[in-house]
Amino acid sequence: MVAEFVCQCLEDLQDYCQPHAPGALLKAAFICTQVVTLHSQRSLRDQLEERFGGGFELRTWSRLPHGSGLGTSSILAGAVIAALYRVSGRSTNVESLIHAVLHLEQVLTTGGGWQDQVGGLVPGLKIGRSKAQLPLKVEVEQIAIPEGFRHALNEHLLLLYTGKTRLARNLLQDVLRNWYARLPAIIQNANGLVSNAEECAQALQQGNLALLGECMNHYRLQKKVMAPGCEPLAVQRMMEALQPHVYGQSLAGAGGGGFLYVLTKQPRMQEALQRILEETEGLGNFSIHTVEVDVAGFQMRLLEEDLLHAE
């Protein structure tokens, strides 16, 4: 699906804080990077003409389906912010981008932006932490792994699209309501999420696939405590069919559908799992995808055609 819209005046940017408005994320990016000053006596045309000699054409795309659970919005926000900084003559680094995305997601009122961009912007395996303080600071630690373990992960880790669109609109609100109510089970579970993340980092450092799988299964149970109903019936059937063949599995993101990630007991099991799921009743139009740990991290480059236009 391709959508195109043009903002010709400041009023066209007013719905930047409504997540389902057309182009809301892109509008919020222009405002958060201060390319545009929304509350100004100067018109949008005058602002852009004075500062940049003209307007902007911004194109974005994603090959992932809507509601994938893979943190697309935060990762896309990071790319957009970096591009806007670059073309407006400013520089940035990954640490600044991480916090800029957090700010944008809060402005966008989605409540997100806390961790997804860390996964997309920082290369390799890492853990993100933030202390209970204001202003919030996200600190990222690269995880050193044994030689050859990244290759093992690439051969044992698979992504399965469940065929179910993730309907997470109310999941986060429910989680926050339970947290604000200070329900003991929720507080205990939140503390458990932190300790499980640290144990997951240790499993990676040790190169221990079985322990990593245990952490994934534990995370799945913790997610179900935090957001009851986050696993549709079809997804449960899929996971039950896969259980004997995997060390661990969990839905990505808030749950409710989207992608399921699995850590297989044997390497290169894509075709075998395909056959198993084809024989399982009640599943949607699923698909299985291989995974590789990214070692390059976020990159930005000028295309040749852009250089010609610049000249």
pLDDT in tens, 182-210: 989 999 999 999 999 999 999 999 999 99
Of the given ranges (15-19, 34-38, 177-181, 234-238), which has the lowest mean pLDDT? 177-181
Given this model, what pLDDT does residue 308 score? 56
pLDDT of 180 > 90? The answer is: no
Query: Can you give the pTM of this predicted structure?
Result: 0.89
Structure tokens at 247: 């060390």
Four-residue CA torsion sign, 239, 241, 242, 245: positive
Grade residue 175 by pLDDT with cuts at 50, 70 and 90. confident
DSSP type of residue 228:
T
Phi-psi region of 111 (alpha: psi -120 to 50; beta: other; left: phi over 0): left
Is the bond leading into 22 cis (omega within 30 degrees of zero)? Answer: no
pLDDT of 258 > 80? The answer is: yes
pLDDT in tens, 1-20: 788 999 999 999 999 999 88
Which has the higher per-residue pLDDT, 256 or 77? 77
Q: What percentage of the chain exceeds 70 in pLDDT?
A: 96
User: Average pLDDT, stretch 251-270?
Assistant: 91
Mean pLDDT, the chain, integer:
91
User: Average pLDDT, stretch 235-243?
Assistant: 95
Distance CA 1, CA 171 (A): 26
Four-residue CA torsion sign, 110, 114, 119, 122: positive
Are 117 and 130 in contact by the 8 Å Cβ rule? The answer is no
Distance CA 187, CA 181 (A): 10
Distance CA 292, CA 311 (A): 37
Structure tokens at 110: 């989605």
Q: Largest Cα–Cα distance in the chain? A: 65
Maximum mean pLDDT: which of 60-69, 173-182, 207-216, 227-236: 207-216
Structure tokens at 257: 């559908």
Given this model, what pLDDT does residue 306 score? 60
